[in-house]
Amino acid sequence: MSLLEVAVAAALLAVLLSASTQMLRVLSNQQRAAERRVVALQAVQAVAEQIGNLPAEQVTADMARQVAIPEAARSYLPASRVNLVVAEEAEPVAAKRVSIELSWSGPGGQPAAPVRLTTWVFAEPRPPRQRDE
């Protein structure tokens, strides 16, 4: 009877070890995906800050084609693509709306959910004109 109990206990242990190994693999994949998402968010914020430091006249659709994410993020995010859209807004004040989207491939080449951020670039206020007296 005790040999049978040991065999059943060994089988249960094998099943539990197999399930825990699979769970650890899934957890590791999820952790890597979360780390990539954090890196993508930081890269998009860096691009937004870079654009925000430019004068409003330099923020154009042509400039948007030249912007790239930082090299460190590009090596960490496989097949990353950044898409920038610059839109002129007139109301309530003149400004440029810059929409930034970063997408990349996840494990197995499947596309990951993109990270999006929108920033505004305003023209420098002109000093008030002085009246001639």
Q: Residue 118 and residue 99: Cα distance in Å, rounded? A: 4
Q: What band does 132 get if pLDDT is binned at 50, 70 and 90?
A: low
pLDDT (0 to 100) of residue 57: 85
Cα 131 from chain centroid (whole Å): 50
Across the range 112-126, mean pLDDT stands at 85
Of the chain, the percentage scoring pLDDT greater than 90 comes to 37
CA distance 9 to 11: 5
At 23, which amino acid appears? M
Q: How far apart are CA 94 and CA 52, in angstroms?
A: 15
**Strand-pair partners of 121:** 96
Give pLDDT, residue 99. Answer: 93
